[in-house]
């Protein structure tokens, strides 16, 4: 067994050296994001907005989005913070770990680095072992600094014990997704496949938790996200979910080690299908190539968005009884007597779904940057293919994905609503209109991505940071008196009307569309003139 792990220590030092910048940036951003919001929620708990928040987070849509609410009888700042923040930070930590493990397993194999390392006196599983040790170290540091950072503000209901449990929950969740990615890195035959399967697993786990939190406790507990939320941080501070998730992580790691020990280098247990002898006419176009490279992950996203929309639509049968028992929603209905309860509920759901759909849209837009970093774009551009034509394929795909995502949302909600509440005044035309109105804001996000790809390719991760800020500002901005109104207006979603309450200002939508077009054209012009950047 010692031969399998020979020189693991040296590989750990090598990977830590390579990760010293990227992982440090991730940790700093996550710690700052987690800790900086604690005093804001702590000061807000005495506001009159507290009642509105309680009513909002108890709605079926918000439970599906953020998880069950604990400590509602004494909804302290800590309980509110844990309920609103834990799940979203876990998702960010999961993304960090997925990228880290793929980078040092399948990514290094594709670049020939693993072959060079294996030619030296290193063990067969040493590289995977070193990657997992590095992930363990990164998540431990994240957990420690997050817990101490939150506790540093000395908020009354957010003590050191609860803060350290919050940090530990993040760290253990990150380790679990690192283990899942390590397993998929053995199953898939490419880094793209490993990352794709890992992100699909992340979404399925989230979807299981969302469905389980509404309909089935057993399904929610089967999801690692649902399990870790049962820690009831800042309320009961249970540690058993952390221990159970840690045991699950060890099992997945053991499976990954076994698979790695019997797998040939550069191979996967899920083999790549042999390609066609001759490319089809569709594949010979720039759009056809972009679609072929992105179709699996985008198809998975469209299906997931449809299913998520259907899951929201399926709770319409209970929304009337919930609204009648909720003072907050009853007040909303009284203030807007012209609209039904189902329309008011769907207004919030469509808003949430539009934000989630932006992830799929940006994934399509940023694909060209990934091809450039992998050195694949050079092979295409060395042929009789102009840069504008090459980039246009990915641009068209991104804009088409935005439309398809909104169609999938409207279709999922409508079909589910027809089953559970056929008398609901939610026609497909109305749902489609309420979804499509978000397109200009999504196009602005595409324009920003294309502009950065064209002028500052190394700064393209900024668009994900801006999306995270937009998501946070849009979500928190819905709570009365929590954030200044101008914060929401610094995002394109701050100018989108939410039907049926708001009326459509077509001039505003036109301005957003023009901004998106200008950014896109500028990105194309800059991309045509700049050098290829592989890193």
The predicted model scores a pTM of: 0.71
Residue 107 tokens, joined: 């990514």
Report the chain's mean pLDDT, rounded to a whole number.
83
pLDDT of 89 > 70? The answer is yes
pLDDT of 79 > 80? The answer is yes
Compute CA distances 23 → 17, 35, 426, whole Å: 10, 18, 46
Report pLDDT digits (tens) over 348-375. Answer: 778 888 888 898 899 899 888 888 877 7
Q: Which of 51-65, 159-173, 322-336, 411-425 has the highest mean pLDDT?
A: 159-173
SS3 call for 190? coil
SS3 call for 491? coil
pLDDT of 206 > 60? The answer is yes
The helix or strand, by DSSP H or E, that contains position 228, with its residue range, turns out to be: helix 224-229
Over residues 260-272, mean pLDDT: 80
Report pLDDT digits (tens) over 443-452. Answer: 999 999 999 9
- In this predicted model, which residue has the larger pLDDT, 235 or 266? 235
Residue 304 tokens, joined: 């997931």
Q: Which of 102-106, 109-113, 140-144, 371-375 has the highest mean pLDDT?
A: 140-144
Residues making up the chain, counted from first to last? 535
Q: Which of 18-27, 97-106, 425-434 has the highest mean pLDDT?
A: 97-106
pLDDT of 245 > 90? The answer is yes
Q: What pLDDT is recorded for position 359?
A: 87
Residue 420 tokens, joined: 């559970």
pLDDT band at 270 (very low <50, low <70, confident <90, very high): confident
- What share of residues in the chain are helix, strand, coil (percent, to 5)? 75, 0, 25
Separation CA 45–CA 50 (nearest Å)? 6
Separation CA 64–CA 52 (nearest Å)? 18
- In this predicted model, which residue has the larger pLDDT, 233 or 316? 233
Residue 430 tokens, joined: 């109305």
Phi and psi based region of residue 67 (left: phi greater than 0; alpha: psi -120 to 50; beta: remaining)? left
Report pLDDT digits (tens) over 177-186. Answer: 999 999 999 9
Q: What pLDDT is recorded for position 50?
A: 60
The DSSP output letter for 239 is -
The share of the chain scoring above pLDDT 90, in percent, equals 29
């Amino acid at each position: 067994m010692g031969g399998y792990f020979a020189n693991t220590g040296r590989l750990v030092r090598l990977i830590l050296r390579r990760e010293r910048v990227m992982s440090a940036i991730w940790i700093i951003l996550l710690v700052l994001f987690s800790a900086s919001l604690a005093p804001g929620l702590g000061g807000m708990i005495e506001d009159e907005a507290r009642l509105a928040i309680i009513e909002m987070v108890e709605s079926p849509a918000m439970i599906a989005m953020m998880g069950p609410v604990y400590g509602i009888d004494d909804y302290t700042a800590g309980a509110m913070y844990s309920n609103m923040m834990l799940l979203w930070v876990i998702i960010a930590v999961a993304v960090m770990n997925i990228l880290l493990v793929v980078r040092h397993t399948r990514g290094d194999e594709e670049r020939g680095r693993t072959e060079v390392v294996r030619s030296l006196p290193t063990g067969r599983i040493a590289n995977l072992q070193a990657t997992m040790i590095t992930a363990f170290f990164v998540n431990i540091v994240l957990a420690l600094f997050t817990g101490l950072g939150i506790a540093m503000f000395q908020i009354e209901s957010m003590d050191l014990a609860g803060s350290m449990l919050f940090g530990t929950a993040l760290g253990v969740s990150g380790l679990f997704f690192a283990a899942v990615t390590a397993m998929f890195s053995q199953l898939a035959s490419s880094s793209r496949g490993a990352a794709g399967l890992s992100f699909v697993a992340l979404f399925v786990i989230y979807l299981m938790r969302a469905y389980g939190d509404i309909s089935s406790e057993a399904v929610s507990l089967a999801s690692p996200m649902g399990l870790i939320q049962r820690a009831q941080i800042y309320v009961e501070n249970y540690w058993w979910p952390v221990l159970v998730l840690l045991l699950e992580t060890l099992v997945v790691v053991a499976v990954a080690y076994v698979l790695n020990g019997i797998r040939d280098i550069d191979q996967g247990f899920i083999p790549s299908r042999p390609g066609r002898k001759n490319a089809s006419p569709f594949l010979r176009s720039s759009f056809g190539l972009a679609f072929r490279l992105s179709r699996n992950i985008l198809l998975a996203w469209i299906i997931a968005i449809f299913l998520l929309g259907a899951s929201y639509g399926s709770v319409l049968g209970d929304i009337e009884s919930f609204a009648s028992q909720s003072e907050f929603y009853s007040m909303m209905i009284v203030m807007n007597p012209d609209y039904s309860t189902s329309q008011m509920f769907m207004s919030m759901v469509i808003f949430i779904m539009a934000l989630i759909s932006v992830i799929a849209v940006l994934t399509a837009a940023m694909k060209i940057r990934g091809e450039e970093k992998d050195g694949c774009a050079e092979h295409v551009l060395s042929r009789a293919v102009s840069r504008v034509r090459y980039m246009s394929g990915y641009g068209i795909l991104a804009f088409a994905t935005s439309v398809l995502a909104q169609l999938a949302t409207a279709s999922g909600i409508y079909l589910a609503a027809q089953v559970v509440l056929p008398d609901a005044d939610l026609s497909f035309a109305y749902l489609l209109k309420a979804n499509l109105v978000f397109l200009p804001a999504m196009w602005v996000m595409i324009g920003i991505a294309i502009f950065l790809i064209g002028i500052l390719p190394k700064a393209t991760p900024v668009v994900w940071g801006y999306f995270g800020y937009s998501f946070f500002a849009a979500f928190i901005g819905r709570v009365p008196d929590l954030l200044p109104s101008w914060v929401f207006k610094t995002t394109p979603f701050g100018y989108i009307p939410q039907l049926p309450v708001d009326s459509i200002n077509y001039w505003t939508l036109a301005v957003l569309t023009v901004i998106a077009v200008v950014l896109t054209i500028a990105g194309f012009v800059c991309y045509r003139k700049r050098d290829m950047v592989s890193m």
